[in-house]
């Protein structure tokens, strides 16, 4: 202030002092906001229509016009500084909140490694999976048969009535069809396309597509309208075997099953055949192997008999050869088929087969 300047009015001084104290108080309050929502409330208090700063404007009228302009500018400058500080703080809160939201929504796959599943995963080596028990068993079976001179073939899971039943000596309405609870697909004409109930249709496809000699195994998934229980699944796996050549006898069938049993289960393990019935083999048999759990001594798994039933087998019926155009006067053959899941169940002593479908890593990691 110079000697020439007129002295300030008391109102000007008091309003100017109020601007300074309102600004410093307002700044401190804005700085104290812990989060965006609180900041917005304080901003309304400090800069809103009912704020102390706004009320100062109403007092400007008490001042002479030159002082009114000067003090008005003071108030506006204070408001601008407070507003720009509030904006800066809000921007920083917003970016912080965006960062935390992204962090919270991030899919942290490494959490899996430290959660409740970490222990079983540690047992098999972190992050490394392995083949499912059924797949491992199927691979071992294939290796065993390949070592015995068999080829491996596959066929479709959705089959026609011809391949699943008719060509296998089960014409329409044949009572033996009732042995397999079939799932039909909704395709026209109804009842013609189904989910294969066994791997035997692959025998037909093979005999249609190649001339004897045939020595092949055919593993794959099968479907039946079976209620799941400890020993049944609606989706399971079988492996089929087929040999067609000149002069094949029932003795060859029994010898092949015995050779497979010893090779797959180990020395001292044997097989035996019991008369049975299948429409596509004649004669037919069920084959059993020494119980792998008790090595034939008798245990709960084999109900004390020392034997486990594995599947069915028999000499290829001449009607089946006729269906695929193979001369049964020149060629003869045998076939067998058994459940891979059932075999895996016996091998690891699994009380309930349904555990194979649960996909519980704690169960699967054991094998």
Footprint on this chain of ligand FA5 (rule: CB under 6 A)? 198, 200, 224, 226, 232-233, 236, 238, 240, 278, 281, 311-314, 335-339, 341-342
CB closer to ligand FA5 out of 33 and 168: 168
* DSSP calls for 215-284: EEEEEEEEE--PPPBTTB-SEEEEEEEEEEETT--HHHHHHHHHHHHHHHH-TT--EEEEEEEETTEEEE
Query: 212 or 339: whose CB is closer to ligand FA5?
Result: 339
How many Å from the N-terminal Cα to the C-terminal Cα in the chain?
Answer: 93
Q: Which residues contact 365 (CB under 8 A, 6 or more apart)?
A: 120, 121, 123, 124
Pair 268, 153: CB distance under 8 Å: no
Q: How far is the CB of 123 from ligand FA5 (least distance, A)?
A: 28
The residue (of 120 and 228) whose beta carbon lies closer to ligand FA5 is: 228
| Edge-to-edge strands, sheet with 193-195 | 158-160, 193-195, 183-184
Is 93 or 145 the residue whose CB approaches ligand FA5 more closely? Answer: 145
Give the shortest CB-219-to-ligand FA5 separation in angstroms.
12
User: Considering beta carbons, is residue 53 or 169 the nearer one to ligand FA5?
Assistant: 169
- The rounded distance, in Å, linking the Cα atoms of 283 and 299 is 31
Residue 197: CB minimum distance to ligand FA5, A: 7
Give the CA angle between residues 367, 139, 228 to the nearest 5°. 65
Q: How far is the CB of 170 from ligand FA5 (least distance, A)?
A: 11
Is the Cβ of residue 12 or residue 177 nearer to ligand FA5 in the bound state?
177
Query: Shortest gap between Cβ of 360 and ligand FA5 (angstroms)?
Result: 19
> How, if at all, do strands 151-152 and 214-223 pair?
parallel
Q: Which residue is nearest to ligand FA5 (CB)?
A: 339
Provide the minimum distance between the beta carbon of 301 and ligand FA5 in the complex, in angstroms, as a whole number.
Answer: 14
Work out how close the CB of 142 gets to ligand FA5 at its nearest, in angstroms, rounded to a whole number.
17
Q: How far is CA 18 from CA 41, 96, 222, 259, 328, in A?
A: 22, 34, 88, 105, 115
Q: Which is nearer to ligand FA5, 296 or 339 (CB)?
A: 339
242: β partners? 216, 335
């Amino acid at each position: 202030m110079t000697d020439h300047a007129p002295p300030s009015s008391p109102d000007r001084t008091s309003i100017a002092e109020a601007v300074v104290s309102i600004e410093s108080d307002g700044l401190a309050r804005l700085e104290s906001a812990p989060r965006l929502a609180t900041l917005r409330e304080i901003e309304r208090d400090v800069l809103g229509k009912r704020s102390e700063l706004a009320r100062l404007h109403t007092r400007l009228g008490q001042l002479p016009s030159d002082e009114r302009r000067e003090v008005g500018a003071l108030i506006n400058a204070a408001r601008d500084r407070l507003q720009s500080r509030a904006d800066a703080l809000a921007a920083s809160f917003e970016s912080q909140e965006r960062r935390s939201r992204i962090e919270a929504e991030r899919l942290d796959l490494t959490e899996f490694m430290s959660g409740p599943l970490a222990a079983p995963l540690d047992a098999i080596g972190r992050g490394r999976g392995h083949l499912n028990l059924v797949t491992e068993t199927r691979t071992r079976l294939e290796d065993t048969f390949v070592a015995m001179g068999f080829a491996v073939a596959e066929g479709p899971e959705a089959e026609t009535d011809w391949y699943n039943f008719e060509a296998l000596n089960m014409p329409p309405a044949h009572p033996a069809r009732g042995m397999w609870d079939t799932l039909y697909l909704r395709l026209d004409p109804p009842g013609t396309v189904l989910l294969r109930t066994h791997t035997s249709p692959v025998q037909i496809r093979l005999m249609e597509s190649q001339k004897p000699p045939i020595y092949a195994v055919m593993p794959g998934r099968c479907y039946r309208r079976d209620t799941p229980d400890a020993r049944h699944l609606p989706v399971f796996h079988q492996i089929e075997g087929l040999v067609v050549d000149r002069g094949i006898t029932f003795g060859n069938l029994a010898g092949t099953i015995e050779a497979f049993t010893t090779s797959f289960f180990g020395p001292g393990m044997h097989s035996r055949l019991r008369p049975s019935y299948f429409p596509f083999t004649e004669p037919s048999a069920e084959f059993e192997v020494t119980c792998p759990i008790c090595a034939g001594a008798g245990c709960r798994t084999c109900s004390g008999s020392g034997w486990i039933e594995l599947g069915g087998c028999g000499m290829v019926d001449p009607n089946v050869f006729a269906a695929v155009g193979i001369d049964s006067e020149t060629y003869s053959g045998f076939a067998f088929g058994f459940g891979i899941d059932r075999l895996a169940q016996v091998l690891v002593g699994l009380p309930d087969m349904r555990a194979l479908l649960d996909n519980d890593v704690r169960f699967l990691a054991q094998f």
